[in-house]
Structure 1
Amino acid sequence: MTRTTPTALWNDSADVEELTRSIGFGAVGATCNPVIAYATIKKHPETWVPRIRDIADRMPTAGESEIGWQSVKDMSVEAAKLLEPIFKKHHGRNGRLSIQTDPRLHRDAEALVAQAVEFSGLAENIIVKIPATKTGIEAMEEATYRGVSINATVSFTVPQAVAAGEAVESGLRRREAERLDVTTMGPVVTIMGGRLDDWLKKVVARDGIEIEPEYLEWGGVAALKRGHKVFRDRGYRSRILCAAYRNHLQWSELVGGDLVVSPPFAWQEKFNASGIEPVSKIDQPVDPKIIAALEQIPDFVRAHQVDGMIPDEFESFGATRVTLRQFLAADADLDALVRDVLVPNPLEN
């Protein structure tokens, strides 16, 4: 796929060990989020416990959250270094490392922009994730105008992706009007296909909707295919990015598109061992029978139609609330991990 199609592979982790191996598979970028960052730090205590202590020594007045976020920034800078040669080869379109803004800022556009600008300055090949809520989309336009390459995240639906794509275009046009460079910017817009499927399965169970179980594996794919077509037809300069993998369709059905697939490394190993030939399927529509069945679910219609929601509704969409809560919980978990390092429980060994 990485050699024969325009589809780009990014690794869904800033873990240096995994990213190094993924680059060997042809990866040309990496994404991350609070859940993944926390999991990486927890997975490697032999590395991160001493580093957290060192950060605390260097920042003697910093609280748990600030120390935790400094760990995430350090992790991101190190991973970005691995991608620098790819970044230069692709003139900024690939070779980027995603770092996500603090989910606790999701209601404050100005704070999101300020943090996006800060994170963008950590390395030349950083791309910054901002949630695709109404507030986040406002921040995307302004951050793009300020020269930040954006990765729209907490995004599950075509209307969210289109709103984010429009915001990025507006920011790029504002830069161009002032003769500011846009030639090395590399924005992407994520649709978390697997998380959309997760939500639709919950809705079906909650509402007692009868539908073939295998059809519920296609909702995210349908949204991704439609999003890609809309971006191509409208000439958006950002690319669709597929994240949150639950099945091989979220890879095999997207091959051939000028988009990014960003599976965790374990999924890359599964795909490579699957025997599935990566042939172009991006323009093959989802079976109309499957679409008709999925349209029994009102939230699928909202997710699949370009005008299925307005920005005021993005934050109340079920998958958005579930994911924001998970990201906020990961922030709290990282705080607790730092607390256990700095102030260990005297009753535990």
Structure 2
Amino acid sequence: MLRRVEGGDVTLAPEGAAPLAWAAAHTPTALWNDSADPEELRRSISFGAVGATCNPVIALTAIRSHPEVWTPRLRALAAEHPAWGESALGWAAVKELSVEAAKLLEPAFAASGGRDGRLSIQTDPRLHRDVDALVAQAVEFSGLAENVIVKIPATASGIAAMEEAAYRGVSINATLSFTVPQAVAVGEALERALDRRSAEGLPDREFGHVVTIMGGRLDDWLKSWTAKHRMLTKPGTLDWAGVAALKKAYAVFRERGFRSRVLSAAFRNHLQWSELVGGDLVVSPPFDWQDRIDANRIPVAVRIDEPVDADILDELLALSEFRRAYDVHGMAPEEFAEFGAARITLRQFLDADAQLDALVRDVLVPAP
């Protein structure tokens, strides 16, 4: 079924079709699940998901949600490794959770030749300033399963680590990434890594590199920033900021022929899926968002090349903080770590690490 709209034909899902499954089956847009919880992932795969992700917050939530599984397992790990501290035991659990989820994605990995079927595992956020440590951990995590893809923060240090790790054969997913300049800098670094491998005659294969933009967290930051500066925008305008950045990054990646894909994460509204359908990219909503999109039968249309409404974009571009996030040269790599959304999110990742340590402590040394 086709509908004529400004800009060309837009393919629509048949009435009554499940939106996510239809889009996954009939467009190039890949669905991933923003959690490595095995129960959620199984349900998401039934919606058409071909990938999943894990980070400190996600891992902490999954482990807390299943104490009947992880309390005895943490005790067993402590017995097997009596010298290990809380952090080592907690990260052992994160790795086990990730490997279990990766097994569920092996069919999609085989079917796509390695482009999809990936399980993202994030490097320890406490290493975010240490390039060598990030590379070493990325190489270690890459060896956990053939279909693992490793998340490294899109800061100046992290991008240097991504380039080196990708050169060494690690599949990369950028995290702590909210803006077009970050995504483009990562895309360029991955191109350099792939070119280095080719120049040295290293094996060529499908790495499935993806470059995340956490669109909803960009929305959150701009809402905080405008409130701090006592600025008012039309209701709903700031809910389009992440979508605008994702569409812009996707266009730049196509123009430049980057061999990595853009990934939409950190959902705050369904636009961060529905406005991107049709693009050769990845959308990674939490399962609850997938469930709501399907339950509400959100209309499916190929909208990736439909521009954000001009009035909305003009109002966004009037904000200097949005221009930093939207313009390809809006920030230099040295500024990435200081962007407001990056500082907030890194603190949350670090806090989740601390909470995971505390969870392990309560298992090993329960209160009297």
TM category (shorter chain) comes to over 0.9
Instruction: Spell out structure 1 runs of 4+ moving beyond 4 A.
Output: none
**In the aligned structure 2, how far is the partner of 1:85 from the partner of 1:19?**
13
Residue 205 of structure 1 aligns with which residue?
A: 227
Residue 215 of structure 2 aligns with which residue?
A: 193
- 1:328 aligned partner, one-letter code: L
Displacement, 1:31? 1.1
Residue 28 of structure 1 aligns with which residue?
A: 50
User: Contact between 1:209 and 1:297, CA under 8 Å: does it hold in 2?
Assistant: no
- 1:43 aligned partner, one-letter code: S
- Does the alignment pair 1:340 with 2:362? yes
- 3-state SS, counterpart of residue 174 of structure 2: strand
**In the aligned structure 1, how far is the partner of 2:152 from the partner of 2:169?**
14
Deviation per residue, 1:222-281 (Å, 9 max, x gap): 000000000011000100000000001001000000000000111101111122221100
- Does the alignment pair 1:94 with 2:113? no
Residue 352 of structure 2 aligns with which residue?
A: 330
Displacement, 1:179? 1.5
**In the aligned structure 1, how far is the partner of 2:149 from the partner of 2:186?**
15
- Number of corresponding residues: 346
In structure 1, the gaps of 5 or more residues are: none
Residue 306 of structure 1 aligns with which residue?
A: 328
**In the aligned structure 1, how far is the partner of 2:209 from the partner of 2:61?**
26
Residue 52 of structure 1 aligns with which residue?
A: 74
User: Contact between 1:12 and 1:32, CA under 8 Å: does it hold in 2?
Assistant: yes
Candidates 138, 144, 149, aligned match of 1:127: 149
Candidates 104, 118, 131, aligned match of 2:126: 104
In structure 2, the gaps of 5 or more residues are: 1-22
Taking structure 1 as the reference length, the TM-score comes to 0.98
**In the aligned structure 2, how far is the partner of 1:181 from the partner of 1:11?**
30
- 1:141 aligned partner, one-letter code: E
Give the alignment's Cα RMSD to 1 decimal.
0.7
Residue 260 of structure 1 aligns with which residue?
A: 282
- 1:104 aligned partner, one-letter code: R
Displacement, 1:184? 2.2
- 3-state SS, counterpart of residue 124 of structure 1: coil
**In the aligned structure 2, how far is the partner of 1:239 from the partner of 1:178?**
24
Deviation per residue, 1:171-206 (Å, 9 max, x gap): 111111112123221100000000000000001110
Displacement, 1:18? 0.5
What does 1:1-349 align with in structure 2 at a 5 Å threshold?
1-346=23-368
Displacement, 1:58? 1.2
**In the aligned structure 1, how far is the partner of 2:337 from the partner of 2:99?**
30
Taking structure 2 as the reference length, the TM-score comes to 0.93
**In the aligned structure 1, how far is the partner of 2:158 from the partner of 2:244?**
24
Displacement, 1:288? 1.2
**In the aligned structure 1, how far is the partner of 2:190 from the partner of 2:105?**
23
